[in-house]
Amino acid sequence: MNTHRKQRIVLKVGSALIAPQRQGCSSRYLLAIAQFIVRCRAKGLQVILVSSGSIAAGTHRFPQNAHDEQLSEPAQLALKKAMAAAGQTEMMATWDKFFDFPTAQILLTHADLRDRERYLSIRDTISTLLTHGILPIVNENDTVTTDALKVGDNDNLSAMVAAAADARSLVICSDIDGLYNKNPHLHADARLLPEVTHIDAGIYAMAGGSHSAVGTGGMRTKIQAAEKAVSHGIDTYIVNGFKESSFNELLAGRNPGTLFRGSDTPMLERLHWFTHTVRAQGEVIVAPQDEVHSAADCARISSDEVLDVSGTFAEGDTIVLRNHDGTELAKARSNYSSRLLKFIAKQDNSELVDSFTHQRRLIATQDIALLSPKATPMEEKS
């Protein structure tokens, strides 16, 4: 475990563990998980629980419609939101009955996380709850979220929460023992990887789909979450949440699954938030950039280097800068809307362009996250 971080652990539990039969919450697997949380706290670790399962827990409340394939898409979406609303209270009540200490519910959307002020508010709330011995239970707010506002899976949400909470470790429960070099359900010779020190395309290629009919997150989203967490210096474990022995091994200081080792040189906090939490609203294609070694190189890109603009975004929104060959250079805040950038890019009149850009660069310098492997970040601003 990374001993340089706070004594905090984030535990992510999926829908298949909460309501394996979609007939309400079940204690079948949750008792062992609850005991793990209690024992962690007894060891002095502060625990944050990220719990999926509100839709799965609420499905049985709508027996007439749960499997009605004739429902229109809007009606199906409204039904899922209603299931989430009904199931969330049942899920919280189920967790609460396992503990003799208080719990607190935190429901989030991606809009809460990508807004800097709200992100810091979330961080402060979690820290205050932990200081007072209260267990934060976090879930995505499926009742109100939309495609534009949702994180989409609680694996990635757990990594964002772990970064916000400055956690030491992230434990993600899966339906298999960890990451295998090939799908263990299909290949008898599949080998479990006990430790991963670098996440690359080869690691992602090993990720198969989830065999759970209840959950939405497969192994790929778990690796995505691990990549977010380890870049913040957070050790991340993928373990089999259906086995009580997984939690006993963790408490004994042993790795029961796959450990993704946290970086020894974690990203700066604000830069990590901007890279892994803020979502880009569009792209700007620029002329060949042979050398992008710093944020300042991106900030100096001029209007005559803009080749194309895609997506619709407003001034202040986040965009991705791409080289002409498709290589991602950076995520950054745009000082101009997509419409105005397109207009500027098409102009041959340099004086007209200068009238727009002489006071402001195209890219805001306070938020630039470099995506080029050769690039180095600028100093963090408070």
Residue 63 pLDDT: 81
Beta strand pairing status for 135-140 and 46-51?
parallel
Read off the pLDDT of residues 300-312 as tens digits, 9 standing for 90 and up: 777 778 888 999 9
Please give the radius of gyration of the chain, using alpha carbons only, rounded to the nearest integer: 23
Residues of the chain with CATH 2.30.130.10: 280-370
Mean pLDDT (the chain) is 86
Residues of the chain with CATH 3.40.1160.10: 8-272
Beta strand pairing status for 135-140 and 195-196?
unpaired
Dihedrals phi, psi of 47, to nearest 5 degrees? -115, 135
Beta strand pairing status for 306-311 and 8-13?
unpaired
| Contacts made by residues 181-188, CB under 8 angstroms, sequence distance 24+ | 181/206, 182/206, 183/208, 185/211
With a cut of 50, say whether residue 241 has pLDDT above it: yes
Q: Is residue 209 a contact partner of residue 234, using CB atoms and an 8 Å limit? A: no
pLDDT band at 71; cut points 50, 70, 90: confident
With a cut of 80, say whether residue 166 has pLDDT above it: yes
Residue 374 pLDDT: 42
* Dihedral in degrees, nearest 10, Cα atoms 251, 256, 258, 261: 30
Query: For 154-158, 241-245, 300-304, 377-381, which range has the lowest pLDDT when averaged over its residues?
Result: 377-381
**Between 348 and 142, the higher pLDDT residue:** 142
Beta strand pairing status for 318-322 and 282-286?
parallel
Query: For 6-10, 337-341, 353-357, which range has the lowest pLDDT when averaged over its residues?
Result: 353-357
Residue written as token pair 């004739």: 70
pLDDT band at 3; cut points 50, 70, 90: very low
Beta strand pairing status for 306-311 and 135-140?
unpaired
With a cut of 60, say whether residue 322 has pLDDT above it: yes
**Between 364 and 127, the higher pLDDT residue:** 127
Residue 352 pLDDT: 58
In 3-state terms, what secondary structure has residue 83? helix
Mean pLDDT, rounded, for 109-125:
94
Residue 74 pLDDT: 83
- The architecture of the domain spanning 8-272 is 3-Layer(aba) Sandwich (3.40)
Rounded (5°) CA angle 352-359-347: 25
Ramachandran class of 226: left when φ > 0, alpha when ψ lies in -120 to 50, beta otherwise = alpha
Percent of the chain with pLDDT over 70: 86
| Strand-pair partners of 139 | 107
Mean pLDDT, rounded, for 330-348:
84
In 3-state terms, what secondary structure has residue 36? helix
With a cut of 90, say whether residue 328 has pLDDT above it: no
Superfamily per CATH, domain 280-370: PUA domain (2.30.130.10)
Distance, in Å, from the CA atom of 102 to the CA atom of 93, rounded to the nearest integer, reads 11
Distance, in Å, from the CA atom of 156 to the CA atom of 179, rounded to the nearest integer, reads 16
Mean pLDDT, rounded, for 168-173:
97
pLDDT band at 21; cut points 50, 70, 90: confident
Distance, in Å, from the CA atom of 264 to the CA atom of 2, rounded to the nearest integer, reads 9
Read off the pLDDT of residues 190-239 as tens digits, 9 standing for 90 and up: 999 999 999 998 999 888 654 444 444 489 999 999 999 999 999 999 99
Residue written as token pair 């979690």: 126
With a cut of 70, say whether residue 263 has pLDDT above it: yes
> Taking Cα atoms as reference points, which of 155, 128, 187 lies closest to residue 16?
155
Query: How far apart, in Å, are the Cα atoms of 176 and each of 50, 94, 179, 192, 262?
Result: 19, 24, 8, 10, 22
Distance, in Å, from the CA atom of 149 to the CA atom of 109, rounded to the nearest integer, reads 6
| DSSP output for 307-333 | EEEEE---TT-EEEEE-TTS-EEEEEE
Distance, in Å, from the CA atom of 244 to the CA atom of 251, rounded to the nearest integer, reads 11
Q: Is residue 158 a contact partner of residue 276, using CB atoms and an 8 Å limit? A: no
Global model pTM greater than 0.95: no
Q: Which amino acid is at 348?
A: D
Mean pLDDT, rounded, for 104-124:
94
Read off the pLDDT of residues 126-145 as tens digits, 9 standing for 90 and up: 999 999 999 999 999 988 87
Residue 314 pLDDT: 93
pLDDT band at 46; cut points 50, 70, 90: very high
Residue 137 pLDDT: 98
| Strand-pair partners of 310 | 283
DSSP conformational letter for 262:
P
Query: For 155-159, 233-237, 244-248, 300-304, which range has the lowest pLDDT when averaged over its residues?
Result: 300-304
Residue written as token pair 């020190």: 197
Distance, in Å, from the CA atom of 25 to the CA atom of 150, rounded to the nearest integer, reads 24
pLDDT band at 342; cut points 50, 70, 90: confident
Residue 291 pLDDT: 62
With a cut of 60, say whether residue 246 has pLDDT above it: yes
Rounded (5°) CA angle 352-356-358: 100
With a cut of 70, say whether residue 350 has pLDDT above it: no
